A and B are shown apart, each in its own frame.
Chain A
Amino acid sequence: MHSKSIAALGAGLRAGDYSSVDLTRAFLERIDRYDEDLNCFITLAPERALARAEAADKLIRSGEAGPLAGIPIAHKDIFCTNGLKTSCGSKMLDSFIAPYDATVVSRLDEAGAVMLGKTNMDEFAMGSSNETSHYGVVRNPWDRNLVPGGSSGGSAAAVAARLCVAATGTDTGGSIRQPAALCGITGLKPTYGRVSRYGMIAFASSLDQAGPLTRSAEDAAAILQAIAGFDRRDSTSAQEPVPDYSEQLEDPLVGLKIGLPKEYFNEGLDGEVARSIELAVDEYRRMGATVMDISLPNSGLSVATYYVVAPAECSSNLSRFDGVRFGYRCQEPKNLEDLYKRSRSEGFGAEVKRRILIGTYALSAGYYDAYYLKAQQIRHLISDDFRQAFEKVDVIMGPTSPTTAFAIGEKADDPVTMYLSDIYTIAANLAGLPGISIPVRPAAGRPVGLQIVGNYFQEAKLLNVAHRLQRESDWHLAEPLGFSSPSRI
């Protein structure tokens, strides 16, 4: 049961083989059994979930239910949920209960999906290992000593361990794709503006984008279908019409032009990971695709550019957490300045503070031109690299992350090495392009992700390319051991 796709589960629900309440109970049991160890969830909402499941069952019986009705999912704890704690992985928001739903949440709710709870994440989505969470590290289901990646580590691990059918995540520099790669699942970061950011707690507004973490491209298409589209509450959401993402899934790939950027296969890349990627590319060749080498000459500047733009925006976005209106407030402040200083010093963790300091510095008078403005200029160069590449190829492929999952604690004290974990994912955020990570052949028993980047609003193409590989191979069906029960449906 827990290994079935959204489509298969939906068919079972509609056929009356089981109810959404049955499904929801089964997944809640799995969470109960396995999550104490994995720590994927910050908050569980069993009562709410069962009530929603009952409503979904009614809808299904009425015959009016859509494909997601009754499907148990989880939301990254960065999405505001009306009446339920939204912590963003931070002590700062440990007591925060939003009085509204994020658009992603309300759209999936309207589609009938059943939210089981809120998943663990790096604090304010700042991290690549889920180690910066106030709620403790998430363990990788493939090996409890490894990180699941981040920042959507809880969502990725939960889907990998089948504690939910699908989960939402956010991706500012790789936070959907990298944990998907490290946990052996499918993760899609849509084009900037494809999914509304309303109610999603901002890290870096010009880079943040929500997307699905799922077991397959087909499942990702179903989730994206529900959450994509213009939202009048987010001025940066795109007016672009939303296509039917399931329609192109099966399109043959004969004649598909794949570009391999030479910069993505450099010395920083683990040899085993490289071989897994090559193996997957060979599969595409077999399916009739043409593969060519391309260059993204400015991609070497991505990480540096990102670590100016993202901290700059976060330093401003996180100013509202000041202890005045909501969130953490220090004990007995002596005066206003003390209230600010101690609330923020005590409420934020080290990585968040590091980025606020970097960003504040980058925006300061006298440094703005040298850092922020320069970074924005380089951003244009990086976008331009992609624009030129897409004149020659349909999609760009490469590794999602330079290595497989690393050990918990291994990079925690070395932020720069940690930042390099996102070296291949960041450019898509800087350019606003869609990217997907799908599992390919594992390396030494650890999952490896293939990243596919497409042109603006080409999510259907990405899903098609990903799905065809998943039809021809079974890498995405591999499951971590030890998560087999219960499976009574």
Chain B
Amino acid sequence: MQWETVIGLEIHAQLATRSKIFSGASTAFGAEPNTQACAVDLGLPGVLPVLNREAVVMAVRFSAAINADLERRSVFARKNYFYPDLPKGYQISQFELPIVGRGSVEILLEDGEIRTIGVTRAHLEEDAGKSLHGDFHGLTGIDLNRAGTPLLEIVSEPDMRSAKEAVAYARKIHQIVRYIGICDGNMQEGSFRADANVSVRRSGGELGTRAELKNLNSFRFLERAINFEVERQIDILESGGKVVQETRLYDPERDETRSMRSKEEANDYRYFPDPDLLPVELDDAFIAAAIEGMPELPDVRRVRFSEEYALGNSDAAQLTASRELADYYEATVEEGGDPRLAANWVTGELAAALNREGSDIGQSPITASMLAGLLQRISDNTISGKIAKQVFDAMWSSGGSADEIIENQGLKQITDSVALEGIVDEVVNANPSQVDAYRQADEKKQIKMLGFFVGQVMQASKGKANPKQVNELLRRKLTS
């Protein structure tokens, strides 16, 4: 039996505003419980919400970034339900008239294929607080610091057909919201969260019953939870059972999903337009001001990188993964680094070093201009690629420019032909039997044997000999 997986994602991106969506309280993460919750966030009697303009600006930017239909008029609605961390007994969200209408993003699959994933809508809403089940003698604590934090809920079409596609889509949204500076994308702190609606069906058949997966706070968990869920549903269907519509929680420790609540237990949210807030009306001037200064979007930048810097698709994609990385790369090139060389070093040596330290590009001890200095010395043959790695390590651990390190550690490549000839002669003289063997060998074999002599010369020169010159000199000496 052929089964097809159908996945849609609901992504909650926490907007990077300084204050909350309906109050002036700070949104900073990690403060002492309930120190960043004002009367409005606490839902005290008589208080009223006032919309944060910045949150609207960010939604407009997102709309532009995914080429969506921006709704000139959107309406906040109340989603009513009781929960201790929901102070007002309702969440202010958008229901019938969201601010961002239909849009789409493109994802790049592993086989190089590009797929378009539809975004149904995106709407503004406030986050709830947190229940704390810590040391409260059997009671539950409530921290309302997060209550009222602005969220953009981004709802996709059920366009994804595998966990990998779902991850690629989530990563794409993650990349976009970070590029346009509306979300810090921090998944550990919950600034970027995804819920997945997963169902399976016989290929081409009617949509199956879906389960909504929650608690997917990393891309890895997203992929694993979907894969588990798909298998679970196929097992049920193949053994003649029925999938029930329900919300399931992913447990990363046991790598499984389990039922949280079924459709029957679901709330009737009794949505209605919030009478405390006016409809959001956007005019041309507001929209123009909101999208002014929007950075180049990742897909556009990727295409430009591959054309302007003659990079392969994979390098261009990797270098534009984040705005910071792309900026770093372009700065390196601007400071005189060769574009292809820079691409190799940024995605290679630098990425590896950052990865080792668990830091990101913003924390790199080697600035773009330092790296460009190093790359220039490779391009002008002052040092070889191998020595460059040594210089790179020194720059990483103790700073300083490439030139200083090369100078201080005497790493300059030996290009003086007299000096090189001396070293080559020494090697030739020290290895008479290999020289004889070389001279009797055919051309093909000679190429192989040359490596031995080059190695000897490099060793004798402590790696500083210019390999190209060494090659030429050796060939001449060995054949004469």
Contact = CB atoms under 8 A, between A and B. Distances in A.
B70 to A, nearest CB: 21
B48 A235 contact: yes
Given A102-B46, A319-B80, A365 B268 contact: yes
Nearest to A197: B48
B410 interface: no
A339 B142 CA distance: 15
Given A316-B272, A322-B89, A340 B82 contact: yes
B437 interface: no
B45 A86 contact: yes
B86 to A, nearest CB: 9
A200 B46 contact: yes
B84 A320 contact: no
B276 interface: yes
B87 A364 contact: no
- Most chain B Cβ neighbours within 10 Å, of A96, A198, A319, A372: A319
A100 B40 CA distance: 11
Interface string A129-154: 00000000000000000000000000
B476 interface: no
B interface, by DSSP: helix, strand, loop or mixed?
loop
A316 B45 contact: no
B78 interface: yes
A98 B275 contact: no
Nearest to B278: A235
Contact of A233 (B48, B87, B272, B277): B48
Contact of A98 (B46, B51, B87, B272): B46
B90 interface: yes
A232 interface: yes
Contacts of A326: 42, 44-45
Nearest to B81: A319
Nearest to A202: B46
B270 interface: yes
Interface residues of A, number: 44
Given A236-B275, A236-B276, A236-B278, A98 B44 contact: yes
Nearest to A237: B48
A134 to B, nearest CB: 15
A316 B89 contact: yes
A312 interface: yes
B88 interface: yes
A99 interface: yes
A322 B268 contact: no
Contact of B42 (A197, A325, A363): A325
A81 B45 CA distance: 11
A250 B87 CA distance: 49
Contacts of B42: 325-326
A227 to B, nearest CB: 15
Interface string B248-282: 00000000000000000000101110011110000
A401 B396 CA distance: 84
B101 interface: no
A79 B90 CA distance: 22
Interface in A187-207: 197-202, 204-206
Contact of B46 (A201, A316, A363): A201
A111 B268 CA distance: 47
Contacts of B44: 80, 98-100, 320, 325-326
Interface string B77-105: 01010101001111000000000000000
A84 to B, nearest CB: 13
A32 interface: no
Given A236-B275, A363-B270, A319 B88 contact: yes
Contacts of B88: 319-320
A320 B80 CA distance: 10
B249 to A, nearest CB: 19
A93 interface: yes
B268 A96 contact: no
Given A316-B89, A319-B89, A364-B270, A80 B45 contact: yes
A346 interface: no
Contacts of A234: 48, 50
A200 B276 CA distance: 12
Contacts of A199: 46-47
Interface string A260-299: 0000000000000000000000000000000000000000
Nearest to A205: B275
Interface string A297-318: 0000000000000001101101
B39 interface: yes
A43 to B, nearest CB: 15
A387 to B, nearest CB: 20
Contacts of A198: 46-48
Contact of B275 (A96, A206, A322): A206
A364 B268 contact: yes
Contacts of A316: 78, 80, 89-90, 270, 272
B46 A368 contact: no
B49 interface: yes
Contacts of A201: 45-46
Nearest to A319: B89
Contacts of B312: none
Interface string A362-387: 01110010001000000000000000
Contacts of A368: 270-272
Contacts of A360: 270
Given A235-B50, A320-B89, A363-B270, A325 B276 contact: no
B90 A319 contact: yes
Contacts of B87: 320, 324-325
A98 B268 contact: no
Contacts of A363: 80, 270-272
B336 interface: no
B33 interface: no
A313 B89 contact: no
Interface string B58-89: 00000000000000000000101010100111
A416 interface: no
A93 B48 contact: no
A210 to B, nearest CB: 11
Nearest to B22: A235
B43 interface: yes
Contacts of A318: 89
A318 B89 CA distance: 8
Contact of A324 (B80, B84, B276): B84
Contacts of B271: 363, 368
Contacts of A325: 42-44, 87, 142
A235 B76 CA distance: 13
A365 B272 CA distance: 11
22 contacts: A80-B45, A86-B46, A198-B46, A198-B48, A205-B275, A233-B50, A234-B48, A235-B49, A235-B278, A315-B270, A316-B89, A316-B270, A319-B80, A319-B88, A320-B44, A320-B45, A321-B45, A325-B42, A325-B44, A325-B142, A326-B42, A363-B80
Given A236-B275, A322-B82, A365-B270, 10 more contacts: A88-B45, A198-B46, A198-B48, A202-B276, A316-B78, A320-B89, A321-B45, A325-B87, A336-B84, A363-B270
The 6 closest A-B pairs by CB, nearest first: A319-B89, A206-B275, A363-B270, A205-B275, A199-B46, A201-B45
Interface of B: 39, 42-51, 78, 80, 82, 84, 87-90, 142, 268, 270-272, 275-278
